[in-house]
Structure 1
């Protein structure tokens, strides 16, 4: 199924973030696993007393602590199943600001967005980026907010890696997913890992000791263990029992590299064909920023998944 034409969104990310998403996004991940112990390595999440007043979009801010750092979660009230929106690398919850009110109106569902560690209003975590930490952060926040089962997870770009690990490690929490030009294990072949690492090495070297933006710092954190992390990611698979809708951009994250773009499309197709409960949708006239270019398609597929899992 192919989307219809819509004008491109006017907002675009900074040049640094473009580098992050265009060259790394398909393969990189974020930061955390929910903890139930109080060891130094893994402290339980704690929800702060009360939430901030509702914002102009009708959402409330909840600062949740996990493993010693605070994370910002934004909740728009509604019924279950909860819809959780997870932005790509170098981005925060504001990426979804136009989609949230539209989804709330169309579905009536509770909608949760959040800032990964080091992004938006969430505190940074020093050291290399680890997907296990990112999973822990998301899991901790959802647990504190009561979204412990039948979640509809919407993951853009880098967040696809977090979604894959979360769904595998916590069966039952995710009822279905919409993967928006998402990083998939199928893409992380040795050839693509090497190509992406080589393509970004100059940028990484230039940033060392000079990273000024949050996106710069995340790029360095992800690049630190990129090769072994991606090799590990390639060995796992999305749980067959969890339905998924894939939305693939027309341009892919690699609009200037035919080789990488083809590998990206092949990975999306391989994932989609691996189980009967998966669907592949191509968003016509879209860059990698499908939520900005084609929010109509993203909203429609989320609505479809919500109906499927209810």
Structure 2
């Protein structure tokens, strides 16, 4: 029998648990029990595993950190469908409830819309929001049902095709190239943590990557609908933007205005900001902690 999720989020290590009716993987750094303080939730973007946040964990010693892998990514099966924004919000809401104290949420790329939707629908569930080069569309357009069916079929092809060694090897190589192209710090021959090659040859992982990319249009369209029916509740935030493209910086400025956040352009980082500039991410988190807790970070 699995432990209650309230216990899991306070126990160091790697865990599979159920949140929002879905199996997810959590990587937990509980921090000292005598001063656990405000928890920090780390939400990776599409195709990014939770361990990509380890440089940020190093930059935030002594903090209670919980990193989430969505269904299919690490140690869990792909659910066999395209994920919806409502599912993502349900998972995050239960995670926020499990930690007990409204957390600071750090959301990268495609996880940004998930976190924004959570805050809009459940004011007070989050104490602060850091968006890392988060996905944003000024005018999101919903794809057709035929588009969704085609991509769901592609996810199933990835699931079955990756059982063939040549397909799996090619997929693992392509993810290496993708990571290299999205980081200013890593070289093409960068060292991966143990188990990474196996992770990106895993059928469920590859099916999940395709399914999450396919769900992008619907999720951003659902968020667009929320923008028309909700107002920002005043949750403080920081938008960290990779300063590699002027047009992207302008789109991120729109996002920062929308969520009442301060935008910080990080010129020496590409999309994988938690890898390139974990110190900037840590600084943004500390700035959103209660004043009394800022003095204890790392101390």
TM-score when normalising by structure 2 = 0.68
**What is the correspondence of 1:16-35 to structure 2 with a 5 Å cutoff?**
none
Aligned to 1:296: 279
Q: Do the aligned residues in 1 keep the contact of 2:42 with 2:68 (CA within 8 Å)?
A: yes
| C-alpha RMSD over aligned residues | 3.4
Indicate conservation of the 8 Å contact 1:249/1:290, yes or no. Answer: yes
Structure 1 unaligned spans of 5+: 1-44, 253-260
Partner of 2:257: 273
8 Å Cα contact 1:76/1:112 also seen in 2: yes
Alignment-derived partner of residue 85 in structure 2 = 131
- The one-character-per-residue Cα deviations of 1:41-63 (angstroms, maximum 9, x if unpaired) are xxxx9726965997xxxx33343
Matched, 1:209 2:157: yes
Give the SS at the match of 2:157. coil
- 1:87 is the counterpart of 2:29: no
Look up the match of 2:220. Answer: 230
Equivalent pairs, count = 239
Alignment deviations for residues 235-273 of structure 1 (CA, whole Å, 9 cap, x no partner)? 334724111100000225xxxxxxxx61x3222112323
Give the alignment partner of residue 73 of structure 2, picking from 108, 119, 122. Answer: 119
Is structure 2 residue 122 aligned with structure 1 residue 170? yes
Query: For structure 1, which segment, 295-304 or 206-215, has the greater mean C-alpha deviation from structure 2 after superposition?
Result: 206-215
| Aligned-pair CA distance for 1:130 | 1.0
Structure 1 residues 13-162: aligned runs within 5 Å: 47=4, 59-66=12-19, 69-78=22-31, 79-103=36-60, 105=61, 108-144=62-98, 147-162=99-114
Q: For the Cα contact (< 8 Å) 2:20–2:92, is it kept in 1?
A: no
In structure 2, distance between residues paired with 1:301 and 1:52:
23
SS at match of 1:72: strand
Cα distance per residue 1:144-194 (max 9 Å; x no partner): 3xx23321000000110110111122221101111000123x53444xx78
- Paired with 1:244 and 1:91, the residues of 2 have a C-alpha distance of 22
Q: TM-score by structure 1 length?
A: 0.65
Counterpart contact for 1:91–1:215, Cα < 8 Å: no
Distance 2:219 2:20 in 1: 21
**In the aligned structure 2, how far is the partner of 1:47 from the partner of 1:63?**
11
Question: Which of 234, 251, 268 is the equivalent residue of 1:285?
Answer: 268
8 A contact 2:46–2:109 mirrored in 1: yes
CA contact (8 A) 2:119 2:233 kept: no
Find the aligned partners of 2:9 and 2:217 in 1 and give their Cα distance. Answer: 40
In 1, the alpha carbon distance for the partners of 2:284 and 2:69 equals: 23
Considering fraction of residues, name the structure with more helix: 2
Give the Cα–Cα distance (whole angstroms) in 2 for the partners of residues 307 and 126 of structure 1: 41
Q: Distance in 1 between matches of 2:213 and 2:3?
A: 30
Structure 1 residues 154 and 223, CA, compared in 2 at 3 Å: closer, same or farther? closer
2:232 to 239, 249, 252: 239
Q: Following the alignment from structure 1 to structure 2, what is the Cα–Cα distance between the partners of residues 235 and 295? A: 33
Q: 1:285 to 1:215 in 2, by over 3 A?
A: farther
User: Unaligned stretches of 5+ in structure 2?
Assistant: 163-201, 294-299
